[in-house]
Amino acid sequence: MWILATLIAALAQTGRNAAQAGLSGQVGTVGATAVRFFFGLPFAALFLLVMSAWQPLPAISGPTLGWAALGAAAQIAATAFMLLTMRGQGFGIATALMKTEPVTLAIFGALFLAEPLGFARLAAISLAVLGVVLISGAEWSRANARSVATGLTAGALFGLSAIGFRGAILTLPEGGVILRASVILAIALCLQTAAMLIWMIARDRPALAAIARSWRISLAAGALGAFASLFWFIGFALTSAANVRTLALIEVVFAQALSARLFREGTSPRQLAGIALIVAGVALLIRVA
């Protein structure tokens, strides 16, 4: 189930990213980031309302809110560091650095949630991450220390956000997997929407007006974002966050194959080696998970 949930989440996230990319020129980078929270929250709330008609909502405790707040804050901070890295070094290097997330996730999971960190599991994660680094095509000779630091920080913060969300789901005392995932999703989006709204009212009001004018595509991005996040959270409820985010690296292979087919882009020996490492890492992970 966690494999299926992860693959669905990765596919939906690809659609959301495409919608957000189209928005960047209209509402700015911060505005495009905020859209996933502003327009995702109504869909998450509606789904939770439908779920509550079938089964009672679980009790929300202080630890639940604490873990959810950690995940929400870390995700916003990770996005900020990601944008800094992309501004300084470009997409290839930024992507490769941020995709170190599964390694930090495995370490954080062992430290904070007492999840097992065996050699085979860590080897599978490392293989897949190394594959992404190779397939990225990044010119590492041009990378500077500051951008490497911000990129690794972004990856670590994305990992910490996943740990926060999984921790919040595990604190819920009752309810099915989908119900618990939808509860934490609604809580996280409420916190993130409030934080982004306060920030934009204080620092970037023109972007709020631009978001309102682009509400149609923003609505699509929000719906896809909420759908993707729901399935990420379902995956987190079923297995460790490191397993979920490592399997998600397979989307890099899909993107490479799509580029080769649609845009007739060639694949270098280095990229082929990267694809082989990602596939090997994912296959090993599924076997040992």
pLDDT recorded at residue 254: 66
pLDDT recorded at residue 177: 92
pLDDT recorded at residue 130: 83
CA distance 190 to 193: 5
pLDDT tops 90 at residue 73: yes
Tokens 């989908």: give the residue.
178
Single-letter residue type at 141: S
The answer to whether 54 touches 137, Cβ cutoff 8 Å, is no
The answer to whether 82 touches 154, Cβ cutoff 8 Å, is yes
pLDDT recorded at residue 255: 63
Tokens matching residue 283: 């296959």
- pLDDT category at 140 given cuts 50, 70, 90 is low
Higher pLDDT, 137 or 252: 252
Tokens matching residue 71: 């995940």
Burial group, residue 89, by CB count within 10 angstroms (0-12, 13-18, 19+) = buried
Tokens matching residue 230: 């729901």
Give the model confidence (pLDDT) of 196-233 as tens digits. 999 999 988 888 888 888 888 888 888 888 998 999 99
Average pLDDT, the chain: 83
CA distance 235 to 240: 8
pLDDT recorded at residue 139: 60
pLDDT recorded at residue 225: 86
Return the percentage of the chain with pLDDT > 90, whole number.
29
pLDDT recorded at residue 230: 93
Tokens matching residue 223: 């719906």
Tokens 């509400």: give the residue.
215
Give the model confidence (pLDDT) of 232-289 as tens digits. 999 999 998 888 988 888 777 766 665 555 445 556 777 778 778 888 888 888 777 6
Backbone angles phi, psi at 173, to 5 degrees: -75, -20
Give the model confidence (pLDDT) of 154-188 as tens digits. 888 989 999 999 999 999 988 889 999 999 999 99
CA torsion 163-94-118-73 (nearest 10°) is -10
Sign of CA dihedral 123, 125, 127, 129: negative
